[in-house]
Amino acid sequence: MTHKKEKGFTLMEIMVAMAILAIALVSIFQLQSQSISMATDSRFMTTAALLAQSKMADVETRSPLLNQNEQGDFGADYPDYTWHLVISDAQLQQFKKIELTVTNKLFIRRGTYKLVLYKTEAVKNE
């Protein structure tokens, strides 16, 4: 009696193929998740930097610069972004330290952008 060899895959071959496929899919999904996270962080950093520069330009035009602590938001165009401004004396007498922090309320971590500027006070001629 002759046995005819049947064509097909064994259970072991199928299990090995499934394990390889599972490892590959997990890696691909992890890379995709990381890519989305990096894109989100990049969008935040770009938006926060532009908003901080815009607010800092408004602050720089103030004269005289008085020590103060204030906060606010960027209106309906950027509802999730807030700013916090601190103007204080610097270590050198003729300078003021301007610290502006922009925060996105939706980010739990890495949602803060800080911009610091040292500006000279106008010299008074008597």
Closest to 115 in 3D by CA, of 66, 55, 37: 55
The verdict on residue 107 lying in a domain is: yes
Q: Say if 1 falls within a structural domain.
A: no
pLDDT (tens digit, 9 = 90+) per residue, 85-97? 999 998 888 899 9
Question: Confidence band (pLDDT; 50, 70, 90) for 79?
Answer: very high
- pLDDT tens digits for 47-67? 999 999 999 999 888 878 888
Count of domains for the chain: 1
Within-domain flag for 4 = no
Which residue in 100, 88, 92, 94 sits closest to 59, CA to CA? 100
44 is a domain residue: yes
**Which CATH number fits the domain that encloses residue 64?**
3.30.1300.30
What is the rounded CA–CA span in Å between residue 37 and residue 35? 5
Q: Answer whether residue 101 is part of any domain.
A: yes
- Residue 14 clears pLDDT 90, i.e. is over it: yes
Q: Is 81 exposed, middle or buried (0-12, 13-18, 19+ CB in 10 A)?
A: buried
Cα 107 to Cα 101: distance, rounded to the nearest angstrom: 14
In a domain, 98, yes or no: yes
CA distances for 88 relative to 26, 59, 97, 111, 120, angstroms: 51, 13, 5, 24, 12
Q: Which domain holds residue 76?
A: 11-120
Structure tokens belonging to residue 37: 């996270």
Cβ-contact 85, 58 below 8 angstroms? no
- 5 lies in a domain? no
Examine residue 65 and state whether it is found in any structural domain, yes or no.
Answer: yes
- What's the pLDDT at 77? 92
Q: Of 49, 120, 114, 43, give the one whose Cα is nearest residue 89.
A: 120
For tokens 């899919």, the residue is 25
